[in-house]
């Protein structure tokens, strides 16, 4: 099979067993390549997490490639057709943990930057890299901490491209120009334990909570807007009881999540949930956890540069979307940066036998290079 610069670097990164939060030398591999083309390399380690901030140039505007070297655990090794960290090419596909999410995108970024700098050594502004090994984990000591550091020294990113796998059916068909917010909760409803034969001496929290849960699941929280679908409420777990058939449980635990648009705030959702639970007369407590605010990058310089690059390389009109889960873009967008996500197909991410199309790797590098040309060419 015909090799390429992007494929070769992808293979090198995929051989590193960088299960979150371990970087396992990936950032060193990237930093070595960037240092050779004039980047100032700044490792940033916070607790057990390695991060990399690298920058070429000292002036604004700053274009930043952002991404993560960590991958999710492999799962059952017996289920893989090949060893997850011994990448293999079969039938035009590159297999390995992290191939889609997102080491091939990291390789494409590096190759694109090398080619761009060779052609435009005196480019406008600066090119930067913000790479973490904490995206698939708690995301407490990764991008969020690097951004805090940059904010403290008033170092601003204007445009940011996150290499998350955004494509659905073919390379470049979807670009994420925002993400919904994510609000998690664990609801505990108090009842009174007792024998099922004597229900009048007990208070069943499942029965008490059922009408309230039905109302929560059928409530329309908003109607979305031009960028976002309507806010979604989903119950992901319900637990009560001791396992015995003859005991009325004393408590009920319900885990649920909101994926919410910019039409509503996290505080508004909390207030409305409390109002519904109180109206149903429940005795309850809720533990809330906000894992990400919604963000949106309206059509502007970065979106136009990306759309043009995809059109020139792939000859398709790309679609803007805010679907999917959260990404580290949620930490970068609040600084005022324009943020988009663009990468390979996401069909196999986090799955056994994760893979990408080998033929998508060079075009992705070409798209990234064209975006740099459209924004920073001297």
Which residues are bridge partners to 235 per DSSP? 256
Is residue 135 part of the annotated active site? The answer reads yes
DSSP code for 61:
P
* Residue that has been written with the tokens 């029965």 in this structure: 207
Q: Burial level of 89, CB count in 10 A (0-12/13-18/19+)?
A: middle
DSSP helix/strand/coil, 269: helix
CB 135 within 8 A of CB 68: yes
Report d(CA 247, CA 199) in Å as an integer: 10
Q: Which of 50, 114, 134, 135 is catalytic?
A: 135
**CB-based contact 167:344 (threshold 8 Å):** yes
Pairwise CA distance, residues 187 & 181, whole Å: 19
User: Is 157 exposed, middle or buried, given 0-12, 13-18 or 19+ CB atoms closer than 10 A?
Assistant: buried
What span, in angstroms and rounded, lies between the C-alpha atoms of 161 and 129? 10
Which is it for strands 174-176 and 319-321: parallel, antiparallel or unpaired?
parallel
What is the helix (H) or strand (E) element at residue 257, kind and residue range?
A: strand 251-260
- Choosing from 23, 50, 70, 360, which is the catalytic residue? 70
Cβ atoms of 144 and 290 within 8 Å: the answer is no
CA distance 177 to 195: 55
Place of tokens 């031009």: 226
Share of the chain residues as helix, strand and coil, in percent rounded to the nearest 5: 35, 30, 40
Residue 32 annotated among the catalytic residues of the structure = no
Could you give the angle at which helices 26-35 and 104-119 cross, rounded to 10 degrees?
Answer: 10
CA distances (Å), origin 92, targets 8, 88, 157: 15, 10, 37
Give catalytic residue positions.
Answer: 70, 135
């Amino acid at each position: 099979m015909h090799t390429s610069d992007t494929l070769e670097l992808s293979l090198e990164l995929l051989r590193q067993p960088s299960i979150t939060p371990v970087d396992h030398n990936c950032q060193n591999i990237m930093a070595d390549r960037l240092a050779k083309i004039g980047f100032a390399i700044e490792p940033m380690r916070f607790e057990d997490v390695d991060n990399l901030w690298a920058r070429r140039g000292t002036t604004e505007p700053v274009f930043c490639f952002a991404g993560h070297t960590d991958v999710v655990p492999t799962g059952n090794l017996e289920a893989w057709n090949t060893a997850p960290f011994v990448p293999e090419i079969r039938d035009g596909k590159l297999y390995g943990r992290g191939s889609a999410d997102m080491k091939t995108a990291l390789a494409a970024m590096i190759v694109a930057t090398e080619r761009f700098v060779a052609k435009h050594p005196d480019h406008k502004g600066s090119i930067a890299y913000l790479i973490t090994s904490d995206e698939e984990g708690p995301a407490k000591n990764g991008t969020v901490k690097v951004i805090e550091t940059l904010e403290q020294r008033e170092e601003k990113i204007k445009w940011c491209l996150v290499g998350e796998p955004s494509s659905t059916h073919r390379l470049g068909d979807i670009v994420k120009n925002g993400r919904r917010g994510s609000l998690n909760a664990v609801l505990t409803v108090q009842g009174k334990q007792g024998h099922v034969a004597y229900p009048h001496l007990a208070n069943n929290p499942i029965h008490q909570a059922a009408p309230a849960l039905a109302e929560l699941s059928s409530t329309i929280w908003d109607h979305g807007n031009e960028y976002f679908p309507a806010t979604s409420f989903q119950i992901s777990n319900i637990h009560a009881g001791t396992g015995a058939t003859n005991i009325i449980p004393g408590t009920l635990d319900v885990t649920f999540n909101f994926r919410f648009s910019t039409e509503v705030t996290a505080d508004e959702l909390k207030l409305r949930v409390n109002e519904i639970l109180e109206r149903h007369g429940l005795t309850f407590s809720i533990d809330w956890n906000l894992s990400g605010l919604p963000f949106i990058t309206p059509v502007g310089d970065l979106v136009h540069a990306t759309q043009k690059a995809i059109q020139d390389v792939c000859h398709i009109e790309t679609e803007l979307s805010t679907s999917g889960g959260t990404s580290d873009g949620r930490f970068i967008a609040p600084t005022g940066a324009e943020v988009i996500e663009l990468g390979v197909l996401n069909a196999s991410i986090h799955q056994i036998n994760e893979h990408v199309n080998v033929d998508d790797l060079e075009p992705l590098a070409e798209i990234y290079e064209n975006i740099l040309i459209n924004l920073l060419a001297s």
